[in-house]
Amino acid sequence: MDGKNGRSMMTGLLALVTALAALSLFLAAVWRWHDNDWGASIWLVAFVAMTVIRTPHSLRNRANVVVDADKDIVEKLLLTAMFLAMMLLPLCHLGTPLFRFADYSLPDWATAIGAVLQGPFLWLFWRSHADLGRNWSPGLEVREDHRLVTGGIYASMRNPMYAAIWLSALAQPLLIHNWIGGALVVPAFAAMWFLRVPNEEALMRRRFGAEWDAYCLRAGRLWPKRPG
């Protein structure tokens, strides 16, 4: 077995172990729903919906032929931090009593705001994946025959998927009242936004040049630009 095949097998094994761990924690969280606040149940429903939206795109786009990528150590650390803060740590908190020492309390109206935010979050998350199609990737990658998507939700904003995740990240501590399982996602995603997005836009500029620059003039980063 050569080094490349060995690394591929180890990566696949790690992904399988991680998926099984996440599934086990999810089932434990469902089992312990009565021990958690009602906002946690809303978060679990949104987590399932998010997984249902993304999984078909993840499976289909594995066949993409990547022609340019930016996968340095910072990118890997940012993706790992987001996976932990947005998925694994919340499930660990809801499925076990491990982080109970870091609980805090919020009034019901604050939890209700977090619940309401799940609507625009999931719509933006779904619309972004649907409009990107084969051009979506979880990493900083450009595929063969990659095209610049400027239609649908992308006609008015360049980063609707990041906008969706901002909504989710800000809502999570309102639904999961724990500093580790709930609030930690906010600094984790802030780091991704400020460190990753400039690299992502630089990758788009390398690929699309003047077409990308013209697009940036008419579409906002996180919300639509005003005409003129």
Short-list 112, 119, 89, CA closest to 189:
89
User: In whole numbers, what is the pLDDT of the chain averaged over residues?
Assistant: 89
Reported as a single tens digit per residue, the pLDDT across 10-43 is 555 666 788 788 889 989 999 988 888 999 999 9
What's the rounded mean pLDDT across residues 47-68? 89
Q: Check residue 63 and give its pLDDT.
A: 80
- Tell me how far apart the alpha carbons of residues 42 and 116 are, in angstroms, rounded to a whole number: 10
As a whole-number percent, the residues of the chain with pLDDT over 90 amount to 64
Residue 129, CB-side half-sphere exposure with 13 Å CA sphere: 20
One-letter identity of residue 4: K
**pLDDT at residue 101 above 50?**
yes
- Tell me how far apart the alpha carbons of residues 122 and 128 are, in angstroms, rounded to a whole number: 10
Q: Which residues of 149-175 are buried (b: 16+ CB within 10 A; e: fewer)?
A: bbeebbeebbbbbbbbbbbbbbbbbbb
**pLDDT at residue 228 above 80?**
no
**pLDDT at residue 227 above 90?**
no
Distances (CA, A) of 226 to 133, 218, 220: 27, 9, 9
- Tell me how far apart the alpha carbons of residues 5 and 10 are, in angstroms, rounded to a whole number: 9
Q: What confidence category does residue 224 fall into, taking pLDDT thresholds of 50, 70 and 90?
A: confident
CATH number of the structural domain 3-218? 1.20.120.1630
Q: Which residues of 39-65 are buried (b: 16+ CB within 10 A; e: fewer)?
A: bbbbbbebbeebeebeeebeeebeebe
The distance from CA 21 to its chain's CA centroid, rounded to whole angstroms, is: 18
pTM: predicted TM-score of the whole model, two decimal places: 0.90
DSSP secondary structure letters along 100-156: GGGB----HHHHHHHHHHHHHHHHHHHHHHHHHGGG--SSSEEETT-----SGGGGT
- Tell me how far apart the alpha carbons of residues 35 and 146 are, in angstroms, rounded to a whole number: 47
Domain boundaries, the chain: 3-218
Q: What confidence category does residue 62 fall into, taking pLDDT thresholds of 50, 70 and 90?
A: confident
- Tell me how far apart the alpha carbons of residues 162 and 145 are, in angstroms, rounded to a whole number: 23
